[in-house]
Amino acid sequence: MEAKQAPVMGRKLFLYVTAFFSGMSVMAIELGASRLLAPYFSSSQIVWTVIIGTIMIAMAIGNVWGGRAADKNPDPVRLYRRLLITAIWTAAIPFAGRYVIAGVSGLLALFVKSNFLVWASLASCFALFVVPLMLLGTVTPSLMKYATESLDDNGRTGGELEALGTIGSIIGTFLPTFVTIPAVGTARTFLIFAAILAVISLGFFISRKKWIARSAVIAVVITALMFMPFNYSFAFWEDDLTVEDESIYNYLQVKETDRSVILSTNVAFGVQSIMMKEGGLTGMYYDYALAAPLMAEKCEDVLILGLGTGTFASQCLKYFPGCEVTGVEIDEKIVALSREYFGLPEEVNAVVGDGRSYLTTSGTYDVIMVDAYQDITIPFQMSSVEFFTEVLEHLNPGGVMVVNMSMRSDAEGSMNEYLMDTIASVFPYCATVKVSGGSNLELIATADAEGFERLSERIDALGEDDPLSAIMPRVEEGLIPVEGGNLILTDDKAPVELLGMRVLDEMISTELEALRGQIKENGIMSLLE
């Protein structure tokens, strides 16, 4: 063994450095994977489970492989070649990852009829991340072989290597989330850690006086890529985006049309917020939600949980002069975008934080809007009976809650049915209205027995010149009372991820039914015609 060791391998410090940065890279790749997949598959618990499971499988295979390889041939050159391959693969992910995800998802969508979210995210994860993580899994057992000098210090050396790898993993958990991803984005985060692995490999090969030119070129190229300007777009098929950015919580996309400014936080599920440039009604769910302040006994204080770009807040100020509006938004960058591109009025008190946490410590309001659901992504803590009980407790007498439900499903046992049953178990008077031309469903709830009667009276009293007179009669006509049922979400049991996955399956099944028929009838090549 001694004859095959490079001089640097006789110094435990270099081994410890390798263990430290390899552990750091594992977690950096894991967090990068979550950010790479989230715009396409959401950031739900299901996707995180897939990512963690994939990492565990890859690391386990790598551990076994690394240990056996080191026993069979204890030449450390093999390990550092693997690290170099890992660096190259990791550096390629920012450039190839989005196309791999799109290709894998498109192929699976043609054949997978259920659990698409699981299979597509799993297949994408395996295609992109199993190889580099498996290679990183070989590091610790290999280093233990190289570093062990006698049976007397096996335990100490192994413990030190594991400890340094763990410390590296801890730093690799915080560094991408709070530093590199917000500062330079997901793509360059992959490149940063790829460069670190390449430099470590280069250090070894310099000491061994082998592979110096190859490893140096790779290290220099990867490092140079970090500083080169390139357009990395998650939605690579989109043109003329005004803003494409990332925050701690979201992928962010701002797009302008002749009539509107649009914010999307997911490339697959459409619009998150919209502002009409002429400043009128949007034709979207915000208009329907204005029934809530019209229905409330008074409209002096409005709270919006899930401010987004502030369209509903702006409308409340416009159509209900004199009211004070507070909006809570967990993503600070969305608040900044709302001020810069969506004309959020300065009068709106925009609070950066979690909606439920803020509600717990806040005062009471005449209207509370819950707009924290984004298609299949549902924060479970804002869907439970305990949460809606808190909302009721923070409403003034005659107060009204309105909830925007954007899930595209009305099937029995759907997410919408769970939410309706849960809310109806807290609020005695509830009704829903379907938004015309979209998938949104607005639920209006109150503890005031006269609330819906008051809404009807005020709609009748609207003048012909009142902009709300064009939409509110349609809202009233579409109201359907919620009877309630036994599908109750609680803080302890809220399977929102599985319910959301069911919604996704229904969407894909509906949208691809015709496509499958075309392929069956005319063959797959007909898609290219």
β-sheet with 260-264: strand ranges across: 243-246, 251-256, 260-264, 273-276
Sorted by sequence, the CB contacts under 8 Å of residue 39 that are 6+ apart come out as 234, 235, 251, 265, 266, 267, 268
The residue type of 342 is F
> Per the residue annotation, which of 301, 371, 375, 505 is the catalytic one?
371
d(CA 389, CA 422) in angstroms, rounded, equals 10
SS (H, E, C) 459-506: HHCCCCCCHHHHCHHHHHHHCEECCCCCCCCCCCCCCHHHHHHHHHHH
- Three-class SS state of 273: strand
Sorted by sequence, the CB contacts under 8 Å of residue 361 that are 6+ apart come out as none
Nearest residue to 498 (alpha-carbon basis) of 371, 372, 380: 380
Nearest residue to 267 (alpha-carbon basis) of 246, 240, 238: 238
Is 410 catalytic? The answer is: no
Q: Which residues of 87-117 are buried (b: 16+ CB within 10 A; e: fewer)?
A: bbbbbbbbeebbebbbebbeebbeebeeebb
d(CA 367, CA 2) in angstroms, rounded, equals 75
* Contact call for residues 435 and 285 (beta carbons, < 8 A): yes
CA distances from 271 to 218, 254, 382, 424, 526 (A): 41, 10, 21, 28, 30
Q: Which helix (H) or strand (E) holds 403?
A: strand 395-405
d(CA 291, CA 455) in angstroms, rounded, equals 7
- Residues annotated as part of the active site: 371
